[in-house]
Amino acid sequence: MMSDPSRTSPKPGPPPMPKEDARARRLARRRARLHGGLSAVVFTGVLLGLISLSIKTVAGDLAFVLLATVAIVVYIFHRLFPGGEFFTIALANFIGIYASIFVLFVEGNFKTLTPMVQAVGFVMPLAAFVGGAYWKRHAVRTIVLTDVLRPGGRFDRIFLWLLPVIAIGFLTFLMPGHDLAPAAVTKLFLLAMVAISLVVLFVSRDIAIFLLDTGLLFEGFFQAAARLVVPAFAFLTFYSLLVIVFASLYTILDRFTDPPNFVIDGRPRDITFPESLYFSLVTLSTVGYGDIQPHTGFSRLIAATEILLGILLLLFGFSAIISHRTDRRGG
């Protein structure tokens, strides 16, 4: 009896992937990884550059060390744990916050430090975080690649590593800094940074979880914002139209009536169109800085009308944007 060939012959499996397709996918993943790392480094550089330019004590060599160190840390972390771009951006943002607090910490308690000592102290917790993340790289890599928001109730884990760091910083504010010699201040500063670095080293996994959750929230926010681009643009278009219309009314009123209808910088004079655009914008947004004031009955009536329209526009505009988002979800 002849056997049924359909029973004896193995079922054909899926055709093997051509080498060209596999190579193209690897190149695409590599490019995406490189793009994510570079974008995070650029984002961090811009953020730290703004911080460096805004603070007098951060200049010269220290500014270069801040920017170079943070860029290197972000890039190394992205290479060690290639994951979502928003995770790396969350890391960059977290480092920017750390840099701001560090400068406040130094300016408040350690003004006599040399730039080199400041740079060493700044780098220590970052190096500890990278070292701790590499030490626990398998657990951190699993966290980074999960792309799932952690369940609630993790605030206790955050406070486990945040409270010791806050306590160390708070204790330095209690020291009599004006009574200590510069060498003693330097030792105290380095001791505090070593203590903070040790905390960061041992809780690097929890910090990675915190950054992952932040990155996922960033991603959700940007995705939601992208869905609102069209209604938000329509709202801003109508908003701009009202600003221009009322600015024209203010200018026309001053052009064809006498005396001037506005007090500008403390003296009455005719308003220019750029000034009327500025006044119309701050009036429609109900800010009212007071540098330009309506001085006559007609100008006050027009300004009051614009204020009422601005309030109604904000109420109905935001309602329309939210309704548009709800309708898209339902559809």
Length of the chain (residues): 331
Contact (CB, 8 A) for 299 and 308: no
Q: How far apart are the first and last CA of the chain?
A: 61
Domain extents in the chain = 31-224, 229-330
pLDDT of residue 325: 59
Looking at domain 229-330, which CATH architecture does it have? Orthogonal Bundle (1.10)
Instruction: Name 275's Cβ contacts closer than 8 Å, sequence gap at least 6.
Output: 264, 292
Residue 124 has pLDDT above 80, yes or no: yes
Q: Which residues pair with 262 in a beta bridge?
A: 269, 294
C-alpha closest to that of 140 among 75, 73, 205 = 205
Which residue type is seen at 222? F
The pairs formed by 284-293 with CB atoms below 8 angstroms and a separation of 24 or more are 284/239, 284/242, 284/243, 284/246, 284/309, 284/310, 284/313, 285/310, 286/310, 286/311, 291/264, 291/265, 292/262, 292/263, 292/264, 293/262, 293/263, 293/264
pLDDT of residue 227: 73
Average pLDDT, the chain: 75
Which residue type is seen at 195? A
Tokens of 302: 């027009």
Helix (H, G, I), strand (E, B) or coil at 292: strand
pLDDT digits (tens, 9 = 90+) for 176-191: 555 678 888 888 889 9
Contact (CB, 8 A) for 26 and 82: no
Q: At residue 284, what are phi and psi to the nearest 5 degrees?
A: -65, -35
pLDDT of residue 153: 47
pLDDT digits (tens, 9 = 90+) for 99-110: 778 877 887 778
DSSP 111: T
pLDDT digits (tens, 9 = 90+) for 197-231: 998 888 887 787 777 777 777 767 777 777 777 77
Q: Who wins on pLDDT, 247 or 13?
A: 247
Contact (CB, 8 A) for 81 and 144: yes
C-alpha closest to that of 39 among 96, 100, 86, 103 = 86
Q: Percent of the chain having pLDDT more than 70? A: 65
Contact (CB, 8 A) for 69 and 122: yes
Instruction: Evaluate the omega torsion of the peptide bond into residue 16 and state whether it is cis, within 30 degrees of 0.
Output: no
Order of all β-strands in the sheet with 262-264:
267-269, 262-264, 292-294
